[in-house]
Structure 1
Amino acid sequence: MKTLLDAHAVSIGDGAIALHDSVGITLRSLGTGSSRLLVAGLQRMAAGAATIALLGEIEYGLEPHRLLRFLDSMGAKDTKQPLQVFITTHSPVALRELSGDQLYVVRKVAGRHLILVAGTSDDVQSTLRAGPEAFLTKQVIVCEGPSAVGLVRGLDQF
């Protein structure tokens, strides 16, 4: 004799059967960031059949170190890109991890949208690494020295 579940005596509704990880935690109970990483891994595995991915606000729910892993899992550092990924972001962390030929800037000019590649020259790439915030603004103010930078930051706050 052993104790087992009597399937006829149990009421099973929607969501009663769920995927679990190796330690028994249901995948639906994962946080936003963990869910996004899981989906990125699944998308990467399905890249042969579905080669385009659309990702809005990629930084949502991801700490900076997890954002780097997310970009890596989508193929940002691969020499041969496994997917064509369209990403929107406001995160300098995400921009810093991309190369200039992977980054496009979209601007509305005279009622039309203009899409420009950021570029692959050394000065574009060094700016992307040192000051990715410059790619997120409409205008860049150039300052010289700590006093000028402090003045502009103060003006920005007020």
Structure 2
Amino acid sequence: MLLLLGCSKKEEEVLDFVPGQVAVGAQDATTVPQLFTLANARSLSIAYIFPARYSSALPADSLGYLRRQLATKAYANAPDWPVQIVRNAQTNAVQLTVRLVDMTAPNQQDWLTTVQQLQLQELSGSKTALLQVPVGEEKRWVAELQQNAALRWAELNHINKRTPQ
């Protein structure tokens, strides 16, 4: 009687991207509300959108008021990237740059309300968003999102492997 035993090691697939994440770049004319709609229509979560740029119709002496109001928005004040508010010395216009993080449905609605209350107008320009997708479906989502006219590009969130120097 001959007994053959085999041992087969299944090789684990080494991923060079972050599971469950897809990065997208918006067209210059694509707005933050349009990015919200794009993600919500597909039941995808938004980890962040950056940079969201706005001008304010409020007078230049309202910088303190804007800072106080925006300081209450945790999703717009990540410790590593607080809201940037500046007054353009040449035009006297107030401009804001915001990184919106953890944009759940309530956070999205709160931001849209805040934009209205603070009389903000979104400025056109490129934005990047990091979307949460089901693990294992990243490549499918990249292919689908690449077809969307609101986006300039969509790709896997690649892991940057650096060699120590």
TM bracket (short chain): under 0.3
Greater relative contact order structure (CA < 8 Å, 6+ sep): 2
- Asked which structure has the greater CA Rg, the reply is 1
Structure having the larger proportion of residues in helix: 1
Q: What TM-score comes out, normalization by structure 2 length?
A: 0.23
TM-score by length of 1: 0.24
Higher strand content, 1 or 2? 2
